[in-house]
Amino acid sequence: GTRIIYDRKMLLQLRDSPYSR
Amino acid sequence: DKIAVPDVPEGEHRLQYSYSLWFMQRGRGSVSSATSDYEDQIKHVGAFSSVEQFWSYYCHIAHPSDLPPHCDIHVFKMGIKPMWEDTANKDGGKWIVRLRKEISSRSWENLLLAMLGEQFIVGNEICGAVISVRPTEDIVSIWNRTASNDSIVGKIRDTLQRILQLPSQTIMEYKAHDQSLKDKSSF
């Protein structure tokens, strides 16, 4: 099946702005 | 002692796998390889299924540079105990990288992000990652299920080299868990 992939930049963005989704 | 898999609330970003966070401080002076002692010393800290849940733990746990020597932090897929004897680990092994203290916190973060983000692209082979804080250096390792699969083991090494951006002289060592069991040493 499809795997959920995140690169480092995406993960860091989610740390810095957890509510900007 | 079943650990519940955390739900992912709407709006959070689900990870491919759920993970457990474990912490261990080895007893000073007491050298024991007994499985039960190890299980007593290792404490389950929490579990996460989303990027947001991971950061909420990560931002609150001590970073390697703040920990006293002989502490280990383990991040393993849920259902896999961070022990050689676990069924997911018994035929597996780990890549071991020794790091200078100055770079270990950043390398550990990069390793975790690559694992959680599925950057290794080796299917379900990855079991978990560990940082071992020691007096003069720190050691990061990444565990996989099948020590005998050279192409998987090689692929993990290549990804590790890329994501950690290691100096060329850095020593990387692969060790199968059955070898660790035989010689009773981890590194």
Would you say A18 and B132 are in contact if contact means Cβ atoms under 8 Å apart? no
Question: Is the Cβ pair B13, A15 closer than 8 Å?
Answer: no
- The residue among A2, A7, A18 whose CA lies nearest residue B12 is A18
Which of chain A's residues have a Cβ under 8 Å away from the Cβ of B119? 5, 7-8
Find the residue in A nearest to B54 (Cα): A15
Structure-block tokens of residue B59: 């931002």
Ordered strands of the B172-176 beta sheet: B42-50, B14-25, B71-77, B126-133, B138-144, B93-99, B172-176
Q: Chain A contact for B114, CB < 8 A?
A: yes
pLDDT tens column, B125-152: 999 999 999 999 999 999 999 999 999 9
Residues near B186 by beta carbon (within 8 Å), at least 6 away in sequence: B132, B175, B180
pLDDT tens column, B60-93: 888 888 888 899 999 999 999 999 999 999 999 9
Q: Chain A contact for B11, CB < 8 A?
A: yes
| ipTM of the complex as predicted | 0.88
> CB B69: neighbour CB atoms within 10 A?
14
Residues near B170 by beta carbon (within 8 Å), at least 6 away in sequence: B97, B98, B99
Per-residue confidence at B37, pLDDT binned at 50, 70, 90?
A: confident
Find the residue in A nearest to B49 (Cα): A4
Question: Is the Cβ pair A5, B119 closer than 8 Å?
Answer: yes
Question: Is the Cβ pair A4, B59 closer than 8 Å?
Answer: no
Taking each helix axis as running N to C, give the angle between helix B51-58 and helix B101-116, from 0 to 180 degrees, rounded to the nearest 10. 160
User: Residue B141 forms beta bridges with which residues?
Assistant: B96, B130
- How many angstroms separate the CA atoms of B151 and B32, rounded? 34
Per-residue confidence at A11, pLDDT binned at 50, 70, 90?
A: very high
